Amino acid sequence: MHILLMGPPGAGKGTQAAKLVEEFGVAHISTGDMFRAAVKNQTELGKRAQECMAAGKLVPDDVTIGIVKERLAQDDCKKGFILDGFPRTVEQAEALEKILKELDLALDCALNIDVPSAELVERAVGRRICKKCGATYNIKFKPPVKEGICDACGGELYQRADDSEATMKNRLAVYDEQTKPLIAFYKQNGLYKEVDGRQSMEAVYSDIIAALRG
């Protein structure tokens, strides 16, 4: 399995990637998670990414492509991988083709989770994440049993700084301008598949499985 999950911010990429990783045991490569870890640890990468993320803008392509190239060369990617949130620009998509060619790999499909922007703000603003294990919740659509506490590990839940209504507006504009053109890119090379992301998380997952088989 060598796939990428595309979709606007809040579409459910991380949620679906976590289920796929659990079922298929492949590597989960989330550039957003990698950048957040770098910001938390205040590494050189984190210092470069921080401002862009806070403003809801993309981290520059050269930086992003560099970390994905390194990540894909790691051993655990040999069992397959899910790219979540990368590529986000046509330049990144072209770089990915080159990286995969060098590794003698090819993508099986580019799967887009389609959700209209009106629903995305509500999803993102309600998103909560476990500090300890990274599990994702939603105060409206997937509330934890005990408010503010992770069902899986008892860790404390937090809200991402960029999951505010104002920053989400910027992220959606950036998506329309820079990331949406990837739909045409992957349609052109025949890898594009789409699922309706407005359904329940379970229904989206079964559609993804069907799309991967079909």
- Binder of residue 133, out of ligand ADP, Zn ion, none (CB less than 5 to 8 A by kind): Zn ion
Q: Catalytic one among 71, 88, 123, 193?
A: 88
Residue 15 in the binding site for ligand ADP (CB under 6 A): yes
Query: What is the smallest separation between the CB atom of 77 and ligand ADP, expressed in angstroms?
Result: 17
Residue 150 in the binding site for Zn ion (CB under 5 A): yes
Query: What is the smallest separation between the CB atom of 50 and ligand ADP, expressed in angstroms?
Result: 9
Name the residue among 36, 20, 12 with its Cα closest to residue 124. Answer: 12
Q: Catalytic one among 123, 127, 128, 193?
A: 127
Using Cβ positions, the residue closest to ligand ADP within the complex turns out to be 32
Which listed residue (52, 77, 103, 125) binds ligand ADP by CB under 6 A? Answer: 52
- Cite the DSSP H helix spans in the chain: 13-24, 31-40, 44-55, 61-72, 90-102, 117-125, 165-174, 181-188, 201-213
Show the binding pattern over residues 105-144: x = contacts ligand ADP (CB under 6 A), - = does not. ------------------x--xx--------xxx--xx--
Which listed residue (6, 31, 195, 207) binds ligand ADP by CB under 6 A? Answer: 31
Which listed residue (37, 105, 107, 201) binds ligand ADP by CB under 6 A? Answer: 201
Q: Computed from CA positions of residues 96, 100, 102, 106, in that sequence, does the dihedral angle turn out positive or negative?
A: negative
DSSP secondary structure of 6-21: E-STTSSHHHHHHHHH
Q: Are 36 and 130 in contact (CB under 8 A)?
A: no
Q: Are 109 and 193 in contact (CB under 8 A)?
A: yes
- d(CA 36, CA 42) in angstroms, rounded, equals 10
Q: Dmax of the chain from CA atoms?
A: 48
Which positions are annotated as active-site residues?
A: 13, 88, 127, 160, 171
Instruction: Kindly list the residues in this chain that would bind ligand ADP in the complex (CB under 6 A).
Output: 7, 9-15, 31-32, 35, 52-53, 56-59, 64, 85-86, 88, 92, 123, 126-127, 136-138, 141-142, 162, 171, 200-201, 204
